[in-house]
A and B are shown apart, each in its own frame.
Chain A
Amino acid sequence: MADLGAVVVLAALIVAVFGVAASLIGHRRGIPALVISGRRAALSVGFLVVLATIALIVSFVTNDFSVRYVAERSSLETTLSLKIVAFYAGQAGSLLYWTMTLSIFTAVVVLQNRRRHPDLMPYVTAVLLGIQAYFLFLLGFVDGPFERLPYTPPNGLGMMPLLEDPGMIIHPPMLLAGYMSWAVPFAFGIAALASGRLDSEWIRTTRYYAIFAWLVLGAGNLLGSWWAYHVLGWGGYWGWDPVENAAILPWFIGTAYLHSVMITERRGMLKVWTMALLIITFHLSIYGTFVVRSGLITSVHSFALSSVGPYFLAFLAASLIGSLALFTRRLPAMRSDNEFEFTVSREGAFLLNNLILVAITFATFWGSIFPLVSELVRGVRITVAKPFFDQINGPMLLALIVLMGIGPLLPWRRASRQLLWKNFAPPVIATGVLALALFAIGVHEPLPLIAFASCGFVAFSVALEYYRGVVVRRRAGQTLPRSVVNMITVNRHRYGGYIVHIGIILIGIAVVGSNFYQLEKEVVLDPGQATRIGRYTITYNGLNETALPDRRIVSAHLSLTQDGRPIGEVEPGRSFRRNFERQPTSLLVIRSDLREDLYILLASWDADGKASFFIYVNPLVMWLWIGGVVLILGGLVTIWPERSLQPALATAPAVAPAGAGATADA
């Protein structure tokens, strides 16, 4: 099977290269048959890459340890479900996975648009196949998963224990799929540049693909932090680690794109800016894909050891230069249809939002590569970690949240003073009351007080938007639930977007709570000894050892009380997997409720049964996961396919009342 896989990868590479040439030549020379054959090449590549993936999975399932990639990741004891997903656990496999998802997405896009956009689609096909050809080249000639060992080992090493966790099984593929998905909007952008069709056609077509990419990447980041929190054992969910930064960069800049593209689509402005954001988003996605694997960030030296690093850098450079060349050639064609007025308006808020998001992206990127710059320029190794990113991104993220509250209250183009007063008075007053209430219950430090109040402001402004939309429909005689459903279905983009905003502020509340109010304790206990943290008392009763066929587990028996009431017995521990004794995984104990998490890690122990524990109380972390779910749901609302285009008149009041003011403008 492995040999079949290797052959199929090469075949796919040839077909992909052919597809690029056929699409471009067919379109340029006006030979429809060639364009069609380019499209079919895209479908064939999809088929071949899926076949190669199946070949690799079969090698795993049949325990073909003569394949190096399989032998280093699987063993006779690895469970079947783990074997099936193990194929993306290493560099070569994750490249194959990336290529597979892109080839499937490409096939879907090509099929969906086969009768549409004759000027754009040949270029879209060519760009997407070009990217795949590059990855197939890596798989075929640089680092393929089908390499044979000179002998067949009787058993494999098994999967790294850290990777066995469900969070690890789903979060890397989600992240990679998120990176990959940005290739599709990018291909449409490049097609628009190459064909000169710079009207809003390509934007309308890519709207759903871009939101989809944003959602998948967002879900990847959320799952990644969930995994870090529940498996790594350092008490946090986000550390501004270089790998995390690489994953959040395209998401930040993609967020800027999703907002600026709204202005471009509605008002025909900021075309240059929007296109630039899209190009940056895609290249940051590629950067994210390869930074994880290349070791570039940790040190120049580990980068040199990576087999794919230099190829990635070459691809990044070539693609960036190519995109920028097209971009500059079309600059004159991307003139605005409308003049931009920087007044107090929705556009103004969007522009500020874009500026801040780009600044956050830049600061995060700069901070991640600064150790590399320092090493190259001065030869001094330094570290840039969480404190820097908190200092520099914290205030900007706060400003972004405030803007999230302001934006929806502003009308497009220009706001009159009365309208501003009418829109802002209710949420601002409510926010003032909230701030006083927060102060009364003990939030006295200025920073968390401001941050919580800002989150509240966003919630009030979204609530006001919903309320007004519902009132208009209620006046038209609709029942309350019906008017809510009707409002959202008629304008999914807008009201789904507000749900996403609510998700973001729930995440914001969790981040503020857990950063400013975390309790931390590193403590050494004798059996029978107890320690207190926050509302909890933790009594250590002694160590237990369990031997399983493929691992040994050492755990500490603890009794917990909360405010003096017993709330149960828990056993945080350590698991020592065969072949991986030096990397014992933590069996964490996390007791969550809506108010706070009690987080216990067994750190070490000695011969007398004395054990050391790291204990944290993390307030409000549950809201991070709730916010994540809300964000995904809101995103799904915006991209849920429209049923049929039934006349709007049949389901909604004739005209929005003039009094609705800003609310009538999406």
Chain B
Amino acid sequence: MPNPLSIIVGAIPRDCPIHQGQPRGAVPTIPAANKVKSRTSRLYFLALVALAALALFQPAAADSDPDPYSSLEFYLKYRQVVDQLGCIQCVSRPLLGCETPTCQDAKALIRQKLAAGESPDQIVQFFVDRYGDAILLNPPARGFNLLIWILPVVALMAGALAILVLLAKKGQAKSRLSPAPLGDEYESRVMEEVRAIERSRG
């Protein structure tokens, strides 16, 4: 088998995997000239590889990476952490399912910390300390952030209340209509035609 790694050794260097077709980060623009282009892009590439090597997390070696599916208990704890966190590099993507090297390393780190006996809350806090509240998929439910849940519920209640009040007022003002059935379009068309026939006869 040919060595498949003539392309890239290790993980794939890349931007945010997706932002609806608009990757965040550098979108290529026209370079000054072709020659410069190839050199800059190679430099850029090397710089990225170097950055990846210097990344916050040491790439997790397979033997030190616990299998998250070894027990249900471990997996549920793992999901409890992962499901609260977003992608390290891009906005509002879940960490679960994100395959950038940074995110894969972050997930490996979570598994290692869990195996080392840290609690899910401690691990989440570790990420919040490092990246701020923005790393959480939902903002912490306290203070100003509570508005995000309260306002829609209040709006729904207020809407319902407004409708009830408005109708109660009208209900008092006017006596009720008799429940005469109303015809559908088809029926009214039939009636119109019947009337038209009667008119033409009369």
Contacts and interface: CB of A to CB of B under 8 A. Distances in A.
* Main secondary structure on B side of the interface with A: loop
B14 A582 contact: yes
Interface in B113-143: 132-139
Nearest to B59: A606
B34 A154 contact: yes
A522 B62 CA distance: 13
Contact of B4 (A412, A544, A576): A544
A416 interface: yes
A524 B4 contact: no
B202 interface: no
A610 B92 contact: no
B28 A584 contact: no
Contacts of B139: 370, 374, 382-384
B148 A355 contact: no
Nearest to A652: B186
A580 B167 contact: no
A387 to B, nearest CB: 5
A594 interface: no
Contacts of B5: 605-607
Interface residues of A, number: 109
B99 to A, nearest CB: 4
Which one of A362, A367, A543, A604 has the highest number of Cβ atoms from chain B below 10 Å of its Cβ? A604
Contacts of A444: none
Nearest to A373: B147
B30 A244 contact: no
Contacts of A520: 96-97
B18 interface: yes
A603 B62 contact: no
A665 B183 CA distance: 5
Interface of B: 1-2, 4-15, 17-21, 23-24, 27-30, 34, 41, 45, 48, 62, 65, 68-69, 83-84, 86, 91-94, 96-99, 101, 104, 107, 132-139, 144-145, 147-149, 151-152, 155-156, 159-160, 163-164, 167, 170-171, 174, 176-177, 179-187, 189-190, 193-194
8 tightest A-B contacts by CB? A363-B152, A666-B184, A603-B99, A543-B4, A382-B139, A234-B97, A342-B167, A414-B179
28 contacts: A153-B34, A233-B99, A234-B17, A234-B18, A239-B92, A239-B94, A242-B91, A292-B20, A341-B176, A342-B164, A382-B133, A383-B138, A384-B92, A386-B92, A413-B177, A415-B179, A544-B1, A544-B4, A552-B7, A582-B14, A603-B104, A606-B5, A609-B4, A648-B186, A656-B184, A664-B183, A664-B187, A665-B182
Interface of A: 68, 71-72, 149, 153-155, 157, 160, 162-163, 168, 172, 228, 232-236, 239-244, 266, 292, 298-299, 339-342, 351, 355-356, 358-359, 362-363, 366-367, 370-371, 374, 377-378, 380-388, 391-392, 396, 411-416, 490-491, 493-494, 520-524, 542-545, 552, 554, 574, 576, 579-584, 601, 603-607, 609-610, 612, 614, 647-649, 652, 654-656, 661, 664-666
